């Protein structure tokens, strides 16, 4: 349950979103200050202008960006969507109903493209269409592919690849596989960096995977949910016990502890 929201459950936007987190109360994108969250809302409003958000058969959700007049720009709320991963923010999708909202899922930005679509005046303009995937699907795909063991590249090369994956500039020319590849590159570097030891308790991994690699779990320090692309300087390798504690123990205190440990592990 990311941030306490359950898939398919009904909520009141004013009370359950803005009452808790603040942020913009109107429009399709809300970026509350002080919380690592980007809220996006989808509904029937786009139909008034001749376009609408939609699910594709391949599991991608196409979400039109904000901007009522003229060409849409990759700035403000639109940029917050495109850079949510590198900024360490959760991307939460809600469906707008008559007087309520329904939580759809936590998403991850994969790509975007430009479509010609009418603006609020009926004039054709360039519209940004974000291509989003369910975070759970990206996590499952990443975990299903075992990390190479021994690593196929040096630690320095793995770090360079992970940093590049984390900082990949949003582009309409990104390939459909990018989000999976970026997630794996971050995962592979973090697991290679730890040298088979939990980066919190410093104990050896509790067991080995089928390919002989030590079993440890990447934990995303800045987000409540794990998985997907992220800046590897904020992803720590934990044993299952420490990982459970990070989510269900003293969450705030452990987050500060992990951030302090990462300053010694990585150059922030």
**Would you state the pLDDT for residue 164?**
85
Q: What pLDDT digit, counting tens, does each position of 199-252 carry?
A: 999 999 999 999 999 999 999 999 878 888 888 999 999 999 999 999 999 999
Q: What pLDDT digit, counting tens, does each position of 30-48 carry?
A: 999 989 999 999 985 555 5
Q: What pLDDT digit, counting tens, does each position of 39-79 carry?
A: 999 985 555 555 689 999 999 999 999 998 899 999 999 99
CA distance 227 to 168: 17
- Is the pLDDT at 104 greater than 60? The verdict is yes
**Would you state the pLDDT for residue 174?**
55
Kindly state the tokens that stand for 196.
């088979």
CA distance 188 to 191: 5
- Is the pLDDT at 182 greater than 90? The verdict is no
The average pLDDT across 87-107 equals 94
Share of the chain above pLDDT 90, in %: 68
- Residue 209 near residue 148 (C-beta atoms within 8 A): no
Band (pLDDT 50/70/90 cuts) for residue 176 is very low
Buried b / exposed e along 75-114 (16+ C-beta atoms within 10 A)? eebbebbbbbbbbbbbbbbbbeeeeebebbbbbbbbbbee
Nearest CA among 152, 163, 206, 209 for reference residue 186:
163
**Would you state the pLDDT for residue 27?**
85
Domain boundaries, the chain: 2-134, 145-265
Q: CATH 2.30.280.10: does it fit domain 2-134?
A: yes
Q: Is the overall model pTM greater than 0.85, yes or no?
A: yes
> Mean pLDDT score of the chain, rounded to an integer?
90
Residues in the chain: 268
């Amino acid at each position: 349950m990311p941030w306490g929201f359950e898939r398919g459950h009904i909520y009141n936007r004013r009370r359950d979103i803005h009452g808790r987190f603040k942020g913009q109360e109107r429009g399709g994108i809300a970026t509350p200050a002080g919380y690592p969250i980007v809220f996006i809302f989808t509904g029937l409003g786009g139909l008034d202008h001749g376009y609408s958000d939609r699910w594709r058969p391949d599991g991608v959700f196409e979400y039109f960006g904000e901007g009522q007049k003229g060409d849409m720009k990759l700035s403000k709320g639109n940029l917050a969507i495109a850079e949510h991963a590198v900024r360490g923010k959760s991307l939460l999708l809600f469906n707008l109903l008559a007087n309520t909202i329904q939580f759809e899922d936590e998403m991850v930005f994969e790509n975007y493209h430009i479509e010609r679509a009418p603006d609020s005046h009926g004039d054709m303009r360039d519209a940004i269409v974000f291509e989003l995937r369910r975070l759970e699907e990206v996590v499952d795909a990443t975990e299903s592919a075992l990390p190479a063991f021994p690593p196929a590249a040096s630690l320095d090369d793995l770090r360079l690849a992970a940093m590049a994956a984390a900082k990949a500039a949003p582009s309409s020319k990104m390939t459909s596989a990018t989000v999976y590849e970026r997630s794996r590159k971050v995962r592979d570097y973090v697991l290679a960096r730890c040298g088979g030891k939990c980066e919190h308790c410093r104990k050896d991994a509790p067991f080995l995977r089928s390919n002989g690699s030590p079993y440890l779990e990447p934990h995303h320090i800045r987000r409540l949910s794990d998985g997907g692309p992220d800046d590897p300087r904020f992803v720590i390798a934990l044993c299952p016990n420490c990982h459970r504690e990070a989510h269900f123990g003293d969450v705030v205190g452990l987050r500060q502890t992990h951030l302090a440990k990462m300053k010694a592990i990585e150059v922030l």
